[in-house]
Amino acid sequence: MKKILMTLAVLLCLPASLFAASYSPDNGYTLIKNPVRTSNPDKIEVVEIFWYGCPHCFSLEPVTQGWSKNIADDVDFKFMPAVFGRSWKAHAKAYYVSELLGLQEKTHGAIFNAIHLDKRRLNSEDKLAEFFTQYGVSEANFKKQFNSFAVNSRLSQADAKIRAYGARGVPGLIVNGKYLVTAQSAGGNNQIYSVVDFLIEQERQAMKK
């Protein structure tokens, strides 16, 4: 019994890093062939590529929200809607409208819930404009923003970055423009952020050198 207690005591004194999961390009993530420049080189950027109509993105959303509440100050987290199909474009534009109007925190989860829980077909400009009225946005103002240069510009920039990342599906997490993490590479949605945290720490140590 004393030997068991001594062993446990020794284990408790060892650095937590020794027990941390270890990943590699063949186990957990994919290296992006040509790293993409991040928005702020002083921070570690984490980008979630998503589509509101994706059931896997919907199931990842509560995991993402839980993780994002505890990110460190040196991490810059953001969402990036993908357009891998014609029907995805309206959802992507709606996301950028919510950003421009300062409503992203209120509408992001709500759009997921409306589509996947309430089974609402928010797949057109008119239906999305109607949805946004519950947040105090008139249909006319929504459509003005929806078709604005600012929204179309952000959409084009996101599309160019997603292509540069080499992402081919959603959801996907990009860490510092260098690594792509998916449910498939990580071994499931619940493991995605374990890999992301591993890569964040890896980048954090590299920035200190």
- Residues 68-117 pLDDT 10s: 999 999 999 999 999 999 989 999 999 999 999 999 999 999 999 999 99
Band of residue 1 on the pLDDT scale cut at 50, 70, 90: low
pLDDT at position 161, please? 96
Indicate the average pLDDT of the chain.
91
169 close to 181: Cβ distance less than 8 angstroms: no
pLDDT at residue 200 is higher than 80: yes
Please provide residue 76's backbone torsions phi and psi, each rounded to the nearest 5 degrees. Answer: -110, 105
Query: What is the rounded distance in angstroms from the CA atom of residue 127 to the CA atom of residue 143?
Result: 11
192 close to 173: Cβ distance less than 8 angstroms: yes
pLDDT at position 209, please? 79
Query: What is the rounded distance in angstroms from the CA atom of residue 5 to the CA atom of residue 160?
Result: 57
80 close to 161: Cβ distance less than 8 angstroms: yes
Band of residue 26 on the pLDDT scale cut at 50, 70, 90: confident
- Looking at domain 21-208, its CATH architecture is 3-Layer(aba) Sandwich (3.40)
Q: Which segment of 7-11, 34-38, 66-70 scores lowest on mean pLDDT?
A: 7-11
Query: What is the rounded distance in angstroms from the CA atom of residue 207 to the CA atom of residue 190?
Result: 27
pLDDT at residue 21 is higher than 80: no
